């Protein structure tokens, strides 16, 4: 049995085995989690930054569902991050609702609702129309917040938020240790969900939409329903990421809705590699660490570098860092064989 | 003049001037996107580059404002051809995503370069005397600069309209926007047309960037900040349509100006609300092909 | 009751009428060919029947039910399948995934977000069954885009079969395939389940006359004439507008 997927077996058996086993956990998948845990012990003073990385991983992961799997390009994913961030922020600042975990659920529901409603209207369109409508959605939310700055705090934001201890037990420390473990736990749970979705028949149908939407229509797939479903899920996850952002930073401003934020998460995902689950991890981590280092050196230089990286990525490594590794791996395997 | 009418005239006048700026800057983007379906997020960077060329020429070399505008348009138009030949060309058949990423990357690099050369602080230009102060139009005084913008816009619209509707090249462009494959099969060289319109469009964007210094202020972030507006004008107007771009520029220019006059806090709310409404009703824009 | 019935279908592009008062009936198990010169509107007719385009007037009935207002996907789920003149495949996925996706969408498995797609053994077995019948099993784990065009053409047909259609529209199934390989594809077409009603668009008159029991000739968007192969072959007008012009009634496959 075990040998069939390596050497033996008829083509039929091999094909069957491939699909039967594809979704199983591989050892290499433990690596990013082990690294995340190791970071906790090696860099105990950088936990606030670490939490931010984890939040961005989650944000990029949510975009991967739409962009990497379903192949829908949007320029307004920050809308959902922002809705989540403000759900928690406003609840804490205006309603004194400071219990963190129920806050995450509220953020997921609020962002998911916004995703469902906007997605239902927008996902009929493609190309420039869709790009513009998603972009306009994020900016409209931002402008609405600015209109009612008496509630939202405008661009000054909602500073100095405090939240109840986690599960009523774990209080927040100066170094952000609690926050880091909290963010890591939430990320692990979200990741588990996303992984199930990606390997489900529904997830396969998403890749079908990405690869050839005309064919999907022709085989009877309810494409719009599939897209609205995944858009809603991705929006909810982005909302959770936004909520964690507010909770771990203890403040939020309207800049979360910025086009920059939508562009940044897309750059991270592209950098890591789209449609491959762990691209979000690699991309967000690499981007954040580089940004942290270079933007202290010179923000101008950093911006130039990001631009250059994007141009080079499009021209030479369309499948991101992970894709690059795969190609190197393929090349080495090829050489070994010959 | 009664107060209400006075405000209405101001909104119309300022809105018109703003619309002319939007039209001049966006029209090239609309035609190139209509021709190749290329999503060019670096268009704002060409406009910004034009602005900085004008700043350098007027401030460092003492060239007059109007000659500087012309030089900026020519220089940026010529440089844009290099980008088109070397980079854009490779991605005509690629996905939206790759085009978005490449051109965002270029925009970032442009912003960083501008910050490095000119610093992050907004720049201004010395204007000739006849563009300063107000001009009397019989019943009221208006800012001369905005009057200049409106006149210049009207002249450019006339020229572009003539080029588009009455010349041989214009007919070819319209045919290629309408049906690229058909145009190629009757022997129109769409690639070369594209390079030409790309150069003219980028040159006009540079002109717009030069004009924007006085109107909106010029800092490196101009490249992305106003890009969104240009894209909206293109999307709302309909790809590749001169008429549509003009109509969209007018509607958005006047709505934005009116919104800011009447409800200062609303910021860009009106522009985006109008955009969403128009695109939901007419997804291909006013004059786009469905 | 006819498997597929098209009544007085009309469609224009701008001012240009591309489909004019077309009537067409496919009985259960029909073997019908649609021929006509280039630009006669054959593919447009397929697009109207499958719902890619909406007709401006007329009706389309599938097993007696009016589907004129239905979406493409809805028609597909009711048993109307097609192949495309130019391949429309999931090029970045494996051949097996192309088939599993089709079976999954057909049976509604793709509504499931939680179960892994490999856990339904019967879906995989059925998908491989279709590959077996077209001798594609050896390529099951290759990406579609890695296959030569002729093999991709077979995947196109395999997908249509995996939809378990009642009515199958084949838009030039052998188009773009070198003639040395096209007989493979045409053998598959000849061996289709006799219960499925098939409409084939094909330029090769050899194939048309061998395969079809009825032939519809479309000229400038309208039905020029309909009849048995013998009737069509002996129709002087058809020869004038179509066969004569194509000039290879004897065929070159021989």
| C102-153 pLDDT, tens digit each | 999 999 999 988 888 878 888 999 999 999 888 899 999 999 999 998 889 9
Residues contacting B287, CB < 8 A, separation 6+: B237, B238, B241, B243, B244, B247
How many folded domains does chain A comprise? 1
Residues contacting B151, CB < 8 A, separation 6+: none
Using the structure block, give the residue that is written with the tokens 């909104």.
Answer: B11
Residue A4 has pLDDT above 60, yes or no: no
Band (C33; pLDDT cuts 50, 70, 90): very high
Query: Would you say residue A113 lies in a domain?
Result: yes
* C128 interfacial to chain A (CB closer than 8 Å): yes
* B221 interfacial to chain A (CB closer than 8 Å): no
* B289 interfacial to chain A (CB closer than 8 Å): no
In the A/C pair of chains, how many CB contacts fall below 8 A? 141
Question: Mean pLDDT, to the nearest integer, of C180-192?
Answer: 82
> Which pLDDT value is given to residue C253?
38
Q: How far is CA B161 from the centre of its chain?
A: 16
- Burial of residue B82 (CB within 10 Å: 0-12, 13-18, 19+) is exposed
- Interchain CB distance below 8 Å, B106 and A311: yes
- Among A63, A61, A55, A59, smallest CA distance to A36 is for A55
Q: Are C171 and C201 in contact (CB under 8 A)?
A: yes
Calculate how close chain A gets to B118, using CA atoms only, in Å.
12
Rg (CA), chain A: 21
In the A/B pair of chains, how many CB contacts fall below 8 A? 126
- CA-CA distance, C183 to A306, in Å (whole number)? 54
Chain A's closest residue to B226, CA to CA, is A259
Most B CBs within 10 A among A117, A254, A300, hence the mutation to make, goes to: A300
A 177-196 residues with CB below 8 A of C?
Answer: 196
Band (C198; pLDDT cuts 50, 70, 90): very high
Query: Would you say residue A336 lies in a domain?
Result: no
Most B CBs within 10 A among A310, A316, A323, hence the mutation to make, goes to: A310
Structure tokens at C71: 């979406």
Chain A's closest residue to B270, CA to CA, is A140
Band (C181; pLDDT cuts 50, 70, 90): confident
Other C-beta atoms closer than 10 Å to the C-beta of C215 total: 26
pLDDT tens, position by position, C78-94: 999 999 999 999 999 99
Q: Are A314 and B91 in contact (CB under 8 A)?
A: yes
Structure tokens at B114: 């501008």
pLDDT tens, position by position, C152-172: 999 999 999 999 999 999 999
> pTM of the full predicted structure?
0.89
Strand partners, C7: C59
Query: Would you say residue A283 lies in a domain?
Result: no
Most B CBs within 10 A among A136, A279, A305, hence the mutation to make, goes to: A136
Which residues on C lie below 8 Å from A192 (Cβ)?
Answer: none
Residue C251 has pLDDT above 70, yes or no: no
Share of chain C above pLDDT 70, in %: 95
Handedness of CA C12, C18, C24, C30 (dihedral sign): negative
C1 three-state secondary structure:
coil
Residue A287 has pLDDT above 70, yes or no: yes
Question: Mean pLDDT, to the nearest integer, of B108-133?
Answer: 91
- A partners (3+ CB pairs within 8 A) are B, C
pLDDT tens, position by position, A65-114: 999 999 999 999 999 999 999 999 999 988 988 899 999 999 999 999 99
C20 three-state secondary structure:
strand
Share of chain A above pLDDT 70, in %: 97
Q: Which of C88, C116, C120 faces A218 most closely, judged by CB atoms?
A: C88
Which residues on B lie below 8 Å from A146 (Cβ)?
Answer: 265, 267, 269
- CA-CA distance, C29 to B180, in Å (whole number)? 41
- Interchain CB distance below 8 Å, C117 and A222: no
The rounded mean pLDDT for chain A is 89
> Which pLDDT value is given to residue B46?
96
Most C CBs within 10 A among A10, A15, A194, A273, hence the mutation to make, goes to: A15
Q: How far is CA B49 from the centre of its chain?
A: 13
* A300 interfacial to chain B (CB closer than 8 Å): yes
Query: What's the half-sphere exposure (Cβ side, CA atoms, 13 Å) at B92?
Result: 13
Chain B's closest residue to A134, CA to CA, is B276
Residue A162 has pLDDT above 90, yes or no: no
B46 three-state secondary structure:
helix
- Interchain CB distance below 8 Å, B111 and A270: no
Structural domain containing residue A128: 28-258
Residue A2 has pLDDT above 50, yes or no: no
Most A CBs within 10 A among C101, C122, C166, C167, hence the mutation to make, goes to: C101
Calculate how close chain B gets to A199, using CA atoms only, in Å.
24
> Which pLDDT value is given to residue C142?
92
**Domains of chain C (ranges plus CATH)?**
1-79+165-254 (3.40.50.300), 90-164 (no CATH)
ipTM over 0.85: yes
- Among A203, A21, A200, smallest CA distance to C116 is for A200
The listed range with the strongest mean pLDDT (A179-183, B175-179, C177-181) is A179-183
Chain A's closest residue to C47, CA to CA, is A218
Using the structure block, give the residue that is written with the tokens 């004009």.
Answer: B211
Handedness of CA C13, C16, C18, C23 (dihedral sign): positive
B 250-279 residues with CB below 8 A of A?
Answer: 265-269, 272-273, 275-276, 279
End-to-end CA distance of chain A: 28
Q: Are A319 and A271 in contact (CB under 8 A)?
A: no
* A67 interfacial to chain B (CB closer than 8 Å): yes
Chain A's closest residue to B232, CA to CA, is A132
* C109 interfacial to chain A (CB closer than 8 Å): yes
> Which pLDDT value is given to residue C245?
53
* Residue that wins the pLDDT comparison between B11 and A224: A224
Q: Are C199 and C31 in contact (CB under 8 A)?
A: no
Q: Are A216 and A76 in contact (CB under 8 A)?
A: no
Chain A's closest residue to B103, CA to CA, is A311
Question: Mean pLDDT, to the nearest integer, of A243-250?
Answer: 94
Query: Would you say residue A4 lies in a domain?
Result: no
- CA-CA distance, A185 to A33, in Å (whole number)? 10
Strand partners, C167: C80, C197
Q: Are A135 and A75 in contact (CB under 8 A)?
A: yes
- Interchain CB distance below 8 Å, A67 and B97: yes
- B partners (3+ CB pairs within 8 A) are A
Query: Would you say residue A131 lies in a domain?
Result: yes
Query: Would you say residue A216 lies in a domain?
Result: yes
> Which pLDDT value is given to residue B93?
82
Query: Would you say residue A311 lies in a domain?
Result: no
Q: Which of A20, A208, A218 faces C82 most closely, judged by CB atoms?
A: A218
> Which pLDDT value is given to residue C244?
54
pLDDT tens, position by position, B53-69: 999 999 999 899 999 99
Q: Which of C72, C88, C101 faces A204 most closely, judged by CB atoms?
A: C101
Strand partners, C201: C34, C171
Query: Would you say residue A122 lies in a domain?
Result: yes
- Interchain CB distance below 8 Å, A303 and B112: yes
- Among C79, C9, C1, smallest CA distance to C42 is for C9
Residues in chain B: 290
- Interchain CB distance below 8 Å, A318 and B266: no
The rounded mean pLDDT for chain B is 89
- Tell me how far CA of residue B154 lies from CA of B30, B133, B210, in angstroms: 18, 21, 17
Which residues on C lie below 8 Å from A215 (Cβ)?
Answer: 84, 88-90, 159
- Interchain CB distance below 8 Å, B112 and A301: yes
Band (B288; pLDDT cuts 50, 70, 90): confident
> Which pLDDT value is given to residue C247?
45
Other C-beta atoms closer than 10 Å to the C-beta of A216 total: 27
Structure tokens at A260: 């920059």
> Which of A78-87, A190-199, B85-94 is predicted with the least confidence, judged by mean pLDDT?
B85-94
Q: Which of C52, C91, C110 faces A205 most closely, judged by CB atoms?
A: C110
β C214-219/C31-35 pair status: parallel
Residue B51 has phi, psi (to 5 degrees) of -60, -45
């Amino acid at each position: 049995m075990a040998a069939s997927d390596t050497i033996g077996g008829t083509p039929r058996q091999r094909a069957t085995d491939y699909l039967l086993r594809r979704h199983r956990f591989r050892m290499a998948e433990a690596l990013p989690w082990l690294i995340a845990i190791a970071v906790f012990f090696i860099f105990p003073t950088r936990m606030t930054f670490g939490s931010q990385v984890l939040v961005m991983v989650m944000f990029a992961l949510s975009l991967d569902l739409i962009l990497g799997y379903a192949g829908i390009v949007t320029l307004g994913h920050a809308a959902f991050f922002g809705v989540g961030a403000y759900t928690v922020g406003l609840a804490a600042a205006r309603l004194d609702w400071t219990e963190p975990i129920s806050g995450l659920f509220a953020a997921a529901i609020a962002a998911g609702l916004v995703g469902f409603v906007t997605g239902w209207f927008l996902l009929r369109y493609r190309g420039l129309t869709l790009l513009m409508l998603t972009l306009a959605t994020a900016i409209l939310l931002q402008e609405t917040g600015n209109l009612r700055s008496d509630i939202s705090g405008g661009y000054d934001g909602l500073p100095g938020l405090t939240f109840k201890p986690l599960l009523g037990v774990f209080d927040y420390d100066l170094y952000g240790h609690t926050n880091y473990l909290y963010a890591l736990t939430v990320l692990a749970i979200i990741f588990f969900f996303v992984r199930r979705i990606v390997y489900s028949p529904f997830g396969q149908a998403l890749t079908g939409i990405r690869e050839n939407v005309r064919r999907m229509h022709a085989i009877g797939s309810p494409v719009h329903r599939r897209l609205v479903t995944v858009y809603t899920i991705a929006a909810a996850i982005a909302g959770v990421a936004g909520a964690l952002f507010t909770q771990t930073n203890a403040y939020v401003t309207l800049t979360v809705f910025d086009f920059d934020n939508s562009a940044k998460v897309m750059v991270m995902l592209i950098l890591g590699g789209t449609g491959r689950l762990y691209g979000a991890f690699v991309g967000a981590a690499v981007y954040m660490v580089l940004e942290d280092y270079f933007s202290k050196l010179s923000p101008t230089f950093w911006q130039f570098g990001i631009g250059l990286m994007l141009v080079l990525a499009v021209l030479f490594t369309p499948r991101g860092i992970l894709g690059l590794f795969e190609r190197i791996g393929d090349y080495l395997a090829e050489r070994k064989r010959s | 003049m009664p107060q209400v009418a006075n405000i209405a005239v101001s909104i119309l006048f300022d809105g018109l001037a703003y619309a002319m700026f939007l039209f001049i800057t966006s029209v090239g983007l609309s035609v190139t996107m209509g021709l190749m379906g290329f999503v060019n997020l670096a268009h704002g960077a060409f406009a910004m580059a034009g602005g900085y060329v004008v700043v350098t020429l007027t401030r460092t070399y003492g060239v007059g404002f109007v000659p500087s505008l012309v030089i900026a348009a020519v220089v940026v138009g010529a440089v844009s051809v290099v980008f088109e030949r070397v980079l854009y060309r490779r991605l005509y058949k690629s996905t939206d995503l790759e085009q978005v990423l490449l051109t965002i990357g270029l925009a970032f690099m442009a912003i960083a370069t501008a910050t490095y050369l000119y610093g992050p602080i907004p720049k201004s230009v010395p204007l000739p005397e006849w563009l300063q102060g107000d001009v009397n139009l019989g019943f009221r005084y208006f800012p001369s600069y905005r009057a200049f913008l409106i006149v210049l816009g009207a002249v450019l619209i006339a020229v572009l309209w003539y080029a588009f509707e009455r010349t041989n090249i214009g007919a070819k462009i319209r045919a290629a926007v309408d049906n690229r494959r058909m145009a190629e099969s009757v022997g129109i060289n769409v690639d070369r047309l594209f390079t030409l319109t790309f150069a003219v469009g980028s040159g006009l964007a540079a002109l717009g960037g030069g004009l924007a210094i006085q109107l909106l202020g010029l800092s490196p972030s101009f490249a992305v900040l106003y890009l969104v507006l240009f894209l909206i004008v293109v999307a709302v107007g309909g790809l590749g349509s001169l008429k549509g771009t003009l109509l969209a520029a007018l509607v958005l220019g006047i709505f934005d100006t009116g919104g800011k006059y009447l409800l200062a806090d609303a910021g860009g709310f009106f522009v985006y609300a109008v955009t969403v409404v128009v695109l939901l009703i007419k997804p291909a824009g006013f004059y786009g092909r469905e | 009751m006819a498997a597929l019935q098209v009544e007085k279908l009309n469609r224009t592009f701008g001012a240009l009428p591309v489909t004019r008062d077309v009537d067409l009936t496919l009985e259960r198990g029909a073997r019908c060919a649609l021929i006509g010169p280039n630009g006669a509107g054959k593919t447009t007719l397929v697009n109207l029947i499958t719902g890619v385009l909406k007709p401006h007037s007329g009706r389309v009935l599938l097993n007696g039910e009016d589907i004129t207002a239905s979406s493409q996907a809805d028609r597909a789920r009711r048993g109307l399948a097609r192949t495309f003149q130019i391949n429309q495949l999931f090029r970045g996925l494996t051949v097996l995934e192309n088939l599993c996706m089709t079976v999954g969408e057909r049976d509604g498995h793709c509504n499931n977000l939680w179960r892994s797609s490999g856990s339904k053994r019967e879906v995989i077995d059925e998908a491989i069954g279709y590959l077996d019948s077209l001798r594609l099993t050896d390529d099951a784990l290759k990406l579609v885009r890695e296959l030569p065009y002729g093999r991709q053409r077979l995947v196109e047909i395999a997908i249509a079969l995996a939809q378990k259609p009642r009515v199958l529209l084949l838009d030039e199934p052998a188009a773009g395939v070198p003639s040395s390989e096209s007989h493979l594809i045409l053998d598959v077409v000849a061996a289709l389940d006799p219960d499925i009603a098939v409409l084939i668009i094909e330029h090769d008159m050899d194939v048309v006359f061998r395969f079809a029991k009825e032939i519809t000739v479309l000229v400038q968007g309208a039905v020029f004439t309909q009849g048995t192969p013998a009737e069509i072959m002996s129709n002087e007008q058809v020869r004038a507008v179509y066969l004569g012009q194509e000039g290879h009634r004897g065929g070159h496959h021989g």
